Amino acid sequence: MTIQFLGKTLKNPMVLASGVLGNSNDILKRVHESGCGLVTMKSIGPEPRDGHKNPTVIDLGHGMINAVGLPSPGYLNMENEWKDLEKREFPLIASIYGGSVKEYRMVAEFVSSKKPDFIEINISCPNSEKHGMIFGINPQSSHDVVSAVKKVINVPLIVKLTPQAPDIGDVARACEDAGADAICAINTVGPGMVIDIESKMPVLAFKKGGLSGPMIKPVAVRCVFDIYKAVKIPIIGLGGITTGEDAIEMMMAGATLVGMGSAVRYRGIDVFQTVADEIDTWLSDHHYTLEDIIGAAHKEDAS
Amino acid sequence: MTTITDQKHIMLRVEKKQVDGPAFATLFFNYALPFKPGQFIMVWIPGIDEKPYTISYHSKNEFAITIEAKGIFSQKAITLEKGDLIGIRGPFGNGFDIKPEDAVAVVAGGCGMAPLATLVEQLPENTCFIHGARSREFILFPDRFDMDRLFCTDDGSFGRKGFVTELLENEIASGRHFDRVYTCGPEIMMYHVFNLCEKHHIPCQVSLERYMRCGFGVCGACVCGKQVVCKDGPVFDSSALRGIKDFNTKALLKSGKEVDLAQYFSWRCK
């Protein structure tokens, strides 16, 4: 089930979402070998950052809430990781974040020199006061970040968007106009909050956090549907995908590739191969190819 | 597909506190926890932090965690008293592989005694039980088990002066046969136990520790080589250990930065 994406051939359309297991070359390699077409490193920031105190990740059954808080060694403190990744034999997305257009550009320029296959800019993280989402909720600020980053990198640029944008289609179009090569959507939903009634305290140390997992899938599908209508560049669709049928639904909304993160909790690291196999089975049962289903839910709009 | 279950904290009040010498305290809770020796729970002290802890006592309706005051969290945890509230998530992880018919050795070092305690209670009386620590006050549960135990301390203040590996080597040299060795303690100690077992072709089960966040194999904070300690472990057998190049060499800080183990432990104990 190989698929072409921005000039690279991937063994399947499955993507490891940023922030999940992407901490080292060894674990990224394992995720790839266990059946994931394209893996994403944990977001890399401008300076060393510990992230938030625990509790940071809670499973709510119907999905998760997290406020890990963008931990990163900082782009200048990852020499071992870059050395390991230079020798990799799998396609890789390097995800980056910043607190200003200048920081995004600085990190992107450096990371580009380390030759990941793609750079993803995270302009959508809800778990930090000054990073991420503040850029992605607005078409103009998204445009500013994307065009600044695009000028200093020489690998394709993916922009990861937040469902909190009032019109995610507008934001996606602004990113496309600024030179983005693909859109990745969605980051976590919210932020939300869980309060423990015995201690009368928010459970997350950061108090609020992003929602992921099955409970957010309808939001993710709607966002990808809106983005597909707004842009011509390919979309990595993610948010609550756990099964092959979920993935097919996301592709029908307009996704070329499908990402997963929380699904690792529910079905293990092998979930990428499992879902790829489930997609394959569904396609052959219905006598479809991947090309037949990408954006298929838009045919009413076209007529 | 595994059942998707709610894993929010179960809130519990301390039922009883047991002081275990100058270095340790054990907190008991009335709660029927499904648990296998070697697994762990995430313990939340509201307003402070959340950390992984092993279960040191376990029965049908009760369990306990044992704390050694080292960092900010454990210094707070050790002051908790009857009636104080904590939250738990879990249990998580794989646990030890127990085969009742096997001849085994248990090698405990320092607070590594805590996760081995419930294992020891399931092992036959002829188990070779070796227990070491820096000094007398760090020997946890010196009077707890029925089984004979070989003690040692680095300074000779309790039992023999020396290391657990020397005691294990003596037992092997005396011709004693082991189908398996279980160990938990400082990583360098476990590494030496593992190497000794490799030399004598004895399968080994080691319980590793890394900084954790989610506890269920998603966030990646605790990766050690290609292994996810909270999910694939924390107990690893010899075949897995042979493939973990970070065993006794590297660990990730909270930021995700890879550092050598000495730097990692000096941060963890702050």
Q: What is the pLDDT averaged over residues B156-175?
A: 96
CB contacts, 8 Å: B2 with chain A: 266-267
- Residue B114: partners with Cβ closer than 8 Å, 6 or more residues away: B54, B56, B65, B66, B140
**Among candidates B115, B111, B150, B107, which has minimal Cα distance to B35?**
B115
pLDDT in tens, B34-53: 999 999 999 999 999 999 99
The CATH number that domain B96-207 falls under is 3.40.50.80
Q: Which of residues 146-185 of A touch B (CB under 8 A)?
A: none
- Considering only the top CATH level, what class is A3-302? alpha beta
SS3 content of chain B, % helix, strand, coil (to 5): 20, 30, 45
- Checking if the pLDDT of B5 tops 70, the result is no
Structure confidence at residue A1 (pLDDT): 83
Structure confidence at residue B198 (pLDDT): 97
- Checking if the pLDDT of B70 tops 90, the result is no
CB contacts, 8 Å: A22 with chain B: 220
Is A201–B225 a contact, with Cβ atoms under 8 angstroms apart? no
> In this structure, which topology does domain B10-92 adopt according to CATH?
Elongation Factor Tu (Ef-tu); domain 3 (2.40.30)
pLDDT in tens, B228-261: 999 999 999 999 999 999 999 999 999 999 999 9
Is B252–A68 a contact, with Cβ atoms under 8 angstroms apart? no
Is A50–B254 a contact, with Cβ atoms under 8 angstroms apart? yes
Domain ranges of chain A: 3-302
Report the percentage of chain B scoring pLDDT > 70. Answer: 97
Using DSSP's 3-state secondary structure scheme, residue B187 falls into helix
Using 50, 70 and 90 to split pLDDT, how confident is the model at B75? very high
- Put simply, whether B122 touches A (Cβ < 8 Å) is no
Structure confidence at residue B1 (pLDDT): 42
Structure confidence at residue A135 (pLDDT): 85
Separation in Å, CA B189 to CA A168, A206, B50, B130, B260 = 54, 37, 26, 12, 16
pLDDT in tens, B80-126: 999 999 999 999 999 999 998 999 999 999 999 999 999 999 999 99
Is A199–B11 a contact, with Cβ atoms under 8 angstroms apart? yes
- Checking if the pLDDT of B2 tops 50, the result is no
By C-alpha distance, the chain B residue nearest A27 is B226
Structure confidence at residue A132 (pLDDT): 67
- Residue A64: partners with Cβ closer than 8 Å, 6 or more residues away: A57, A58, A211, A212, A213, A262, A265, B218
* Residues of chain A under the 50 pLDDT cut: 303
